[in-house]
Amino acid sequence: MMMVGKSALVLLFIFSISYVSALGISPAIKNIDFVPGQEVNITFYVLDAVEYSTYDVGIRGGDLADYSSLNVDSVKGNGVFILTIKFPTDFDKPGTSTISVSVKERPSESSFINTVVEVGSTVKTFVPYPGYYGDLSLSIPDGNVDENIPVELHVINRGDNPLNIESVFVDFVSGDGNAVKKIEFTPVNIPIFGERYFRKYLDTTGIVPGNYIGRARVSYEGITREVNKSFRVGSLFVNITNFTNYVLGGGIQKFYVTLENKWNSKVLGAYVDVNLTNDIYSMVFRTPSIDLEPWEEKVIESYLDTDNLEGKYNLFLNASYHGQSTFIYGSLFVGKDYSLIIYSVSAIVAIIFFIVLYFILKRLFFRNKRR
């Protein structure tokens, strides 16, 4: 009976949580323009509420709380309420300002578990900065050589004056600081609260693979603003960045090779042939194949039989992928396994220690006995 009661309680709790947690509000986030002296009305809808149940609505706070009011303080079921914002004629806090509202369930005296759910919504508005102010963002994804990479410069007018763009361009600089390309755009006029996307493609023909920086510059009213974005230009190349250079002899040992994809595309089935040689010995083994995501670095684990191997060997590693290959030279040292010798010496030392200790204790015992 007690187990049944506990199970029913758990089921009731789960049901209560899932039942009340569906409460929602729309819109969850609202963006509006700031217009001095203007009055704005925003309608909110209560979603997934219980029919005929009462829900409290209120203002939770924000920079515009003193300029805001609600038409009601409660709704029934999936009700509707209106937030009114009366923008001041002069607001001394430029930037993003907010006002938040909430819908809160009233706890029922008859319910077994009084779980109260509250959901909220935020209204955001941007107060222009005094004067001229352009907000810049630059987007340049990674790409490959001989491709067209999309370049997108986004300019938002955040000031309280129109932006008369005089010049706008993007320079492309290599990792060593050399300018390699330049894209120019047609100047435009961006009104208050306005924005503009400048879009073109970067032709990577003739560009050396590597790391680059796109540097956008926008000039208006004698002001020049700049924004930078780093990106990579890849090619079909898999680099061997690391490999095992020491193993113990006398058995099967793990051998690792690390590959790095320098292409902005996936590489399938890359593997490495390892040639191991010295003056009297030569062998070749192949690692398992792996797939590499764009720009991914991954370790291949393989195995090497080191029986009858000892000393230094020359390595030649050849990575194969998509009909291409990369090779490097290195060395591998195969050392002796001294673990058995170490264990034997340790055991002998321990035996000698206990023998000496035995005779010392025995001598002390007889000396005390004579006294």
Q: Are strands 80-86 and 68-70 parallel, antiparallel or unpaired?
A: antiparallel
Q: Quick one: average pLDDT of 324-329?
A: 96
CATH class assigned to 23-107+116-127: mainly beta
Q: What is the pLDDT of residues 202-213, one digit of tens each?
A: 999 999 999 999
The pLDDT of residue 8 is 46
Least confident interval from 227-231, 315-319, 366-370: 366-370
pTM reported for the whole predicted model: 0.70
Query: What's the CATH architecture for 238-335?
Result: Sandwich (2.60)
- Where, residue-wise, is CATH 2.60.40.10 in the chain? 23-107+116-127, 134-234, 238-335
Q: What is the pLDDT of residues 126-182, one digit of tens each?
A: 888 999 999 999 999 999 999 999 999 999 999 999 999 999 999 999 988 899 999
The pLDDT of residue 47 is 94
Fold of 134-234: Immunoglobulin-like (2.60.40)
Q: Quick one: average pLDDT of 350-362?
A: 70
The pLDDT of residue 4 is 45
From CA 332, how far away is CA 274, in angstroms rounded? 11
Q: What is the pLDDT of residues 9-68, one digit of tens each?
A: 444 444 444 444 579 999 999 999 888 899 999 999 999 999 889 999 999 999 999 999
Least confident interval from 91-100, 109-118, 362-371: 362-371
The pLDDT of residue 344 is 55
